[in-house]
Amino acid sequence: MHDHAPLQDLPPSSGLHPLIARLETEFLYPRLASAEDVTGFLARPGQHCLFIPGDPRRNLETADAAVILPELRLAFQNAFDCAVVDEAIETALREQYRALKTPGLLFFRESGFLGAIEKVRDWSDYLGRITHILSLQPA
């Protein structure tokens, strides 16, 4: 069972699921719509998570991941900042980092790629995987 806003509530022209929009409006995660946006975001100091939502109309896990991500950030005491990857560059990023399944979380330290988590996982799996990923040196 998935708890998410029904797709019929989407305005026909937006295509943006309300829970993904919430990441931008409530949590102020930037939307990265170009390679330049990604480069600028990853150039900042610290650790970063890029959220690759996928198509919420075809993948019900997308809405779940949009709810889970802020909770993960809180659980890790804001050890990483987050951004939402726009549909326009989603495929290129997934291919570049070999994280082909969505939804996906790509982790970086500055611009160095650390690892990815694809699809929705159990909470304990997220905690273990993120702890491990954040302990790695960039590839």
Query: Which pLDDT value is given to residue 28?
Result: 97
- Is residue 95 assigned to a domain? yes
39 within domain boundaries: yes
Contact indicator for 103, 51 with CB cutoff of 8 Å? yes
pLDDT, one tens digit per residue, over 49-107 is 999 999 998 999 999 999 999 999 999 999 999 999 999 999 999 999 999 999 999 99
What pLDDT does 15 receive? 64
**Structure-token pair, residue 56:** 């919420």
134 exposure class (CB count in 10 Å sphere: 0-12, 13-18, 19+): middle
Number of domains in the chain: 1
Question: Which domain range does residue 55 map to?
Answer: 16-135
Residue 10 within a domain: no
Q: Which CATH number characterizes residue 115's domain?
A: 3.40.30.10
Please report which helix (H) or strand (E) contains residue 108, including its range: strand 104-109
Q: 33 with 86: CB under 8 angstroms? A: yes
Confirm whether 34 is domain-assigned. Answer: yes
Q: Is the per-residue pLDDT at 10 higher than 70?
A: no
Token pair, residue 1, equals 């069972």
In a domain, 3, yes or no: no
Q: What is the pTM of this model?
A: 0.88
- pLDDT score of 5 more than 60: no
Q: What is the mean pLDDT of the chain?
A: 91
Q: Which residues pair with 104 in a beta bridge?
A: 52, 118
The 10s digit of each residue's pLDDT in 98-132 is: 999 999 999 999 999 999 999 999 999 999 999 99
